[in-house]
Structures are given as structure tokens and as C-alpha cells.
Amino acid sequence: MEDSNPVISVRGLQKSYGDVEAVRGIDLEVRRGEVFAFLGPNGAGKTTTVEILEGYRKRSAGEVSVLGEDPERADRAWRERIGVVLQSCRLDPYLTVRESLDLYAGYYRAPRPADDVLELVGLEAKADARAGSLSGGQQRRLDVGMALIGDPELLFLDEPTTGFDPSARRQTWETIAGLRDLGKTVFLTTHYMDEAQRLADRVTIISAGTMVAGGTPEDLGDRENRPATVSFRLPEGVATGELPVDGAASRNGGRTVSLDTSTPVATLNELTGWALRRGFDLEGLEVTRPSLEDVYLSLTSEGTE
């Protein structure tokens, strides 16, 4: 019954700072048990939005409901049900990993056992190390652990891997992926497409304070129906005008040419038939679909222009 109610529901959210409109009309619905990614470039309004949902900031307009309550009027009982990982927070360097968890455990009525949380965030071996001696990735995982210690239903993660090296990112991703298995609802902001793709059930892309796309990572931005790119090296002594297809252009003035086509099968058929008849080989022949990164970049640059 409760599952039919969204965990987060946002309608027409707006936030201005003086004359600057940071968020200009956002609608969201996050369902119980899903990992929801809020994706956008720096300055798109991600942190402003997530801090409104967390109860840190007041909105200028719109309706917001998080776990059935308005975060602006949220009380202690509501805070028991959410976990927050801020975009940047330096934990107390003089407390050990276990002490940091125990300190936060004391703030909640029914905390998870610290040993459980240590395992979830993969810091069992570091339990007695001071937080100040941890690497950036380990500190962030401890931060996630401190957000999990109260056993919240909903977890906010604001850019959890920004600035990490690949192995630290991978470990943090594993921790976040494990949260879904616990049945937690996760609201994740990120400016990394691959992070959203890897972790999220659903993604909303925002740019300059407005939503530009939304959906599952697979069908985001209607990727399947975007044109494919065919590229190959032009045979010796052949000019682009002689090709049986239109629109081929050289990249960087070299012999490799590429063209965009929404019918790649027909285009390839014409090209390869022509090459066989003329006795050419098409060296370096390649057909590529736009990557999610390409879709993301084209969507977010449309939004800012």
C-alpha cells in the first residue's frame, strides 16, 4: 500500500537567489526502493534541489513532499528516516572509523549495528583507523556509513565520487549498488553520465535549472533513434563527391570521412556494394551509435545556450 506512494514528489519547484533563478520548475517522482539519479553539469541546480529535499534550504515556489512530509516543516521523527551525505564534508579526523559511526549511532532511536555498517561500506579493516588517515574514497564511504547508521529509508548522496580516482569510484559504486539490495531508496546527484548509467534505475537530466530529459538509462534521450555515424578511410584517388551517399565529410582534413545516418543498414548496403563493384576496400569501416555521454553532452549544451 505504501509502495504506491512516491517517496519523493516534487511539482513546479523553483528557487531564486536574488535575481538568479537556480531552479526553474522541476517535477520529480522517486519511487520506493529505486536508485534515482539527478544528473547535470556543475551549476545546473542539483545541489540546490537536493538541499531543498533534505530540508536545508527553503524553496521559492512549488510543492515538495519527502516521505509524506514537507521538508521545510520536518521534525526529528522525519530526520530519523533519512540519511544525508553532503557534497563536501570533512569528518572529524581525530575519531576512528568505529567511533565516528558510534557517535552518529547515538543520534538515532534504532541504529543499525556498527559492524553491519562497516561491512556495507567495506571498511572492516579500517575500523580502528582515524578518519584523518583514510584516503578520500574511504572517507566518503565512512560518510555514507554515517548516513546509514540510523537505518534510514531514504538516502541522499550529493556527488559521491567527484574527484575520485577510478578505483575509489568503483568501490564507492559497489557500496551504493549494495544499498539497493537493502531496499533503500537512493537519491543520487552526479555530473558523471557513467555513474548514473551504472547505478540508477531512473535518471533525470537537468541543465540550467530545468529538466531536459528523463527515463531509464537505456532509453534516455531517445538514444536508439538518434542517427548513427558511419566512418571509413577514403580509397586512394577517390573524392567524396564520387561516393554513392551524401553528407560524407572528412574529419580534420584527413582521408577518414564520416557521415550521420538514421538508416545505417541502407547506407552500409550502398557503400559496401559500391566498394565491391569498384574493387575497393573500405579501410577502418565503423558504425557507431551515440554514447550516453554524447547524448548527455548534447542535451545539457542545448539547455545552456
Q: Does 108 bind another protein (CB under 8 A)?
A: yes
Q: How far apart are CA 2 and CA 4, in angstroms?
A: 5
Question: Measured from the CB atom, is 128 or 305 closer to another protein?
Answer: 128
Residues from 112 through 131 that contact another protein (CB under 8 A)? 130
Provide the greatest CA pair distance for the chain.
Answer: 78
Quick one: cell of 165?
580516482
Count of residues that bind another protein according to CB under 8 A: 28
Least distance from another protein to the Cβ atom of residue 140, Å: 12
Least distance from another protein to the Cβ atom of residue 286, Å: 44
The sign one gets for the Cα dihedral 140, 142, 143, 145 is positive
Q: How far apart are CA 163 and CA 145, in angstroms?
A: 19
Binder to another protein among 11, 12, 17, 56 (CB under 8 A)? 56
Helices 97-105 and 136-148: crossing angle in degrees, nearest 10, is: 20
Q: Which residue stretch of 52-60, 113-121, 280-288, 297-305 sits at the interface with another protein (rule: CB under 8 A)? A: 52-60
- From residue 220, how far is each of 39, 130, 217, 305 by CA, in Å? 12, 42, 5, 21
Least distance from another protein to the Cβ atom of residue 117, Å: 14
Residues from 10 through 49 that contact another protein (CB under 8 A)? none
Question: Measured from the CB atom, is 86 or 182 closer to another protein?
Answer: 86
Assess contact for 136 and 168: CB atoms under 8 A: yes
Helices 136-148 and 166-181: crossing angle in degrees, nearest 10, is: 20
Question: Measured from the CB atom, is 100 or 197 closer to another protein?
Answer: 100
* Nearest CA-CA partner of 63 in 9, 15, 24: 9
Least distance from another protein to the Cβ atom of residue 158, Å: 11
- Residue the block writes with cell 535575481: 19
Helix (H) or strand (E) holding 121: none
Question: Measured from the CB atom, is 46 or 202 closer to another protein?
Answer: 46
Least distance from another protein to the Cβ atom of residue 80, Å: 5
The SS3 of residue 182 is: coil
Binder to another protein among 137, 145, 150, 290 (CB under 8 A)? 150
Residues from 81 through 100 that contact another protein (CB under 8 A)? 82, 84, 86, 88-92, 94-95, 99
Q: Does 133 bind another protein (CB under 8 A)?
A: no
Q: Which residue stretch of 54-62, 117-125, 159-167, 223-231 sits at the interface with another protein (rule: CB under 8 A)? A: 54-62
Q: Which residue stretch of 38-46, 105-113, 188-196, 290-298 sits at the interface with another protein (rule: CB under 8 A)? A: 105-113
Q: Which residue stretch of 60-68, 107-115, 197-205, 255-263 sits at the interface with another protein (rule: CB under 8 A)? A: 107-115
Amino acid at 245: V
Q: How far apart are CA 71 and CA 8, in angstroms?
A: 10
Binder to another protein among 103, 245, 285, 287 (CB under 8 A)? 103
Assess contact for 259 and 228: CB atoms under 8 A: no
DSSP 96: B
Binder to another protein among 13, 67, 97, 104 (CB under 8 A)? 104
Quick one: cell of 171?
568501490
* Nearest CA-CA partner of 10 in 39, 30, 34: 30
Residues that bind another protein (CB under 8 A): 54-56, 76-77, 79-80, 82, 84, 86, 88-92, 94-95, 99, 102-104, 106-109, 130, 146, 150
